[in-house]
Amino acid sequence: MQYNFQWAEMFSGEPAQWMWDGFVTTLQISAISLICAMVLGVIICIMRMTPIKVLQWFSLAFTEFFRNTPLLIQIFFWYNASHIVIPSGINEWMNDLYYWFPGPFSMFGHEFVGEWMLFNVELITGVIALSVYTSAFIAEEIRAGIFSIPKNQLEASRAVGLSFLQGYRFVILPQALRIVIPPLISQSLNLIKNSSLCMVIGVGEMMYQATQIESYHAIPFEAFTVALLIYLSISLVVSFCITMYNKHFMIQVMY
């Protein structure tokens, strides 16, 4: 039986709006997760580099556990099982976020905040899972960048009166982060693609919306093709950024 393509229906009306909503949600959950993963990854990396054994053991266990367990299982854990071990106060706080996310955007009014800043449990769970999972990889990338910095720079920073944390903040990390920008961009690309797994807990990102379009409008080829092309476009843009950065960095090194 010959399949009748219905591209016009895909780019108009409800399917187009659903796909746009999924695209916005994908960017939203990816951007928030990337920021959280970067902050957490830097903290875990510094803990790994401290002379305090307890912090070293904790950071080692953190990175090995989250890097070597499937992201899908982690998403289900944070969504279905984490409330059993997380303190009740944190659970209540997360439930409150379902109704309202206070923040600097409240000045724009309830309608604006309700559309852009209203988080639900599924979205929060997705952000937590993606952030924790990606931070373990980011911590190792930054640690590799730190190892490429000569050790005498940290010793020199201590000699001029800086503390251990100040030496990392002002001397080591700025250099290490610049070195590991390409792999960090690759991690951000992986995070964007991994965000599609959040559909299993009901996050309305692109894959979820494509599935909805397939179910309600019976145009599976068009829906998943558009989703695939959007992911491909994002990947190509990120890859272009990596290429341009490497080219710029190589020119600087040559001169």
Residue 175: CB partners within 8 Å, gap ≥ 6? 145, 149, 153
Residue 2 lies in a domain: no
Residue 109 lies in a domain: yes
Instruction: Identify which has the larger pLDDT, 163 or 48.
Output: 48
Residue 74 lies in a domain: yes
**From CA 126, how far away is CA 79, in angstroms rounded?**
8
Q: What would the pLDDT profile of 208-232 be if each residue is shown by its tens digit?
A: 999 998 888 888 888 899 999 999 9
Number of domains the chain contains: 1
**From CA 50, how far away is CA 42, in angstroms rounded?**
12
Q: What is the CA radius of gyration of the chain?
A: 22
> Does the model's pTM come out above 0.85?
no
Q: In the chain, what is the greatest distance between 2 CA atoms, to the nearest angstrom?
A: 78
Q: Tell me, what CATH number does 120's domain have?
A: 1.10.3720.10
Residue 123 lies in a domain: yes
Q: Residue 103: in which H helix or E strand, if any?
A: none
Domain that holds residue 231: 15-254
Residue 118 lies in a domain: yes
Residue 9 lies in a domain: no
pLDDT higher than 70, residue 46? yes
Residue 6 lies in a domain: no
Q: What would the pLDDT profile of 117-159 be if each residue is shown by its tens digit?
A: 445 778 888 999 999 999 999 999 988 888 888 878 877 887 8
**From CA 55, how far away is CA 176, in angstroms rounded?**
21
Q: Which residues in 205-239 are b (16+ Cβ under 10 Å) and which e?
A: bbbbbbbbbbeebebeebbbebbeebbeebeeebe
Look-up: residue for tokens 């990947």?
Answer: 235
Residues across the chain: 255
Residue 196 lies in a domain: yes
pLDDT higher than 60, residue 101? no
- Give which of 198, 197, 201, 186 is closest to 234, Cα–Cα: 186
The 3-state DSSP class for residue 228 equals: helix
**From CA 129, how far away is CA 182, in angstroms rounded?**
23
